[in-house]
């Protein structure tokens, strides 16, 4: 599927880089974002600005969304001037927002009735993965639609897996976020412990990042903690949103998630102290204040 017209909605921390990869891959790129300024660099590089979602949806062969919250997804897709009202029959919809499995199924069912293909395809890898086109992309939907758009997804990520029917991508992302939640507590605690013990934190990291404690988060975010760099690769407020979805999904399956709940409590404390727009590595601040 080459040189298709791709509509992209949501040019935030990750979306901007993802959209740029699509354009560099040879696709005509239509853009819509609530704040045009955030899309200006892409426009300057050749992307076409659309004044409304309706305009974008009517012109695009493939429409990709990566917005903030499930409520934003609902509005973008189901509003009277939204995607599902104006996308063409035979087009492909790919929601890469971390949202709810239930909403993903609702989009897919509505799209199918209109002879439109829909996939839920949340991602993991943060700003670095988006910048380097190495995102993990977890997909839910029909196999035919998945393979039709896989070349598009391959421009943004390297680990692309079809997990099952609609909603399965979102369930997979919830498993991912549950693991990250407890991992972030461990990294923040470990780096604070090293500091309290009077150790060189960078030397400690060098010793442990290739051992049993190794992880993407440890290698990429612990250095930011040590340097006091709390700029967002992934916002605290969005991680809290994800954890809320994961808790609700787990409760619906009668699954207890004590690690997730504790992490959510800590991030709520962090947000209440004014760190909503910081990166998730800012959790370290709660521990560092004691070190």
Give the pair of three-digit tokens for residue 161. Answer: 């897996």
Nearest to 241 by CA among 270, 268, 217: 268
Q: Establish whether 220 is a catalytic residue.
A: no
Report the Cα–Cα distance between both ends of the chain, in Å, rounded.
54
Q: Determine the number of helices (DSSP H) and then strands (DSSP E) in the chain.
A: 14, 9
User: What residues contact residue 131 under an 8 Å CB cut-off, 6+ apart?
Assistant: 17
Question: Cα separation of 218 and 73, whole Å?
Answer: 31
Contact 58, 83 (CB under 8 A): no
Q: Which among 16, 59, 106, 173 is annotated as catalytic? A: 173
- The tally of CA atoms less than 13 A away on the side-chain side of residue 250 is 19
Question: Cα separation of 120 and 108, whole Å?
Answer: 8
151: alpha, beta or left? (left if phi > 0; alpha if psi -120 to 50): alpha
Catalytic residues: 173
């Amino acid at each position: 599927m080459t040189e298709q017209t791709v509509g992209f909605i949501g040019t935030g921390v990750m979306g901007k880089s993802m959209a740029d990869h699509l354009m560099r891959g040879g696709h005509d790129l239509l853009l819509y974002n609530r704040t045009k300024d955030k899309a200006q660099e892409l426009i300057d590089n050749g992307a076409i600005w659309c004044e409304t979602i309706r305009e974008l949806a009517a012109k695009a062969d493939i429409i990709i969304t990566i917005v903030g919250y499930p409520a934003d997804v609902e509005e973008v897709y189901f509003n009277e001037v939204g995607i599902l009202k104006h996308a063409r029959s035979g087009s492909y919809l790919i929601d890469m927002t971390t949202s709810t499995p239930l909403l993903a199924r609702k989009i897919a069912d509505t799209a199918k009735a209109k002879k439109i293909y829909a996939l839920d395809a949340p991602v993991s890898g943060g700003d670095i993965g988006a910048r380097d086109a190495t995102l993990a992309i977890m997909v839910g939907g029909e196999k035919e639609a998945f393979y039709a758009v896989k070349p598009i997804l391959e421009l943004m990520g390297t680990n692309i897996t079809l997990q099952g029917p609609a909603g399965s991508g979102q369930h997979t992302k919830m498993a991912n976020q549950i693991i990250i939640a407890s991992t972030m507590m461990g990294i923040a605690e470990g780096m604070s412990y090293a500091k309290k013990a009077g150790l060189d934190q960078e030397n400690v990291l060098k010793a442990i990042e290739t051992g049993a404690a190794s992880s993407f988060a440890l290698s990429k975010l612990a250095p930011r903690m040590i340097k006091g760099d709390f700029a967002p690769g992934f916002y605290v407020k969005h991680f809290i949103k994800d954890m809320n979805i994961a808790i609700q999904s787990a409760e619906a399956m009668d699954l207890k998630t004590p690690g997730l709940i504790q992490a959510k409590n800590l991030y709520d404390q962090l947000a209440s102290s004014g760190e909503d727009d910081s990166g998730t590595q800012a959790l370290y601040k709660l521990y560092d204040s004691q070190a």
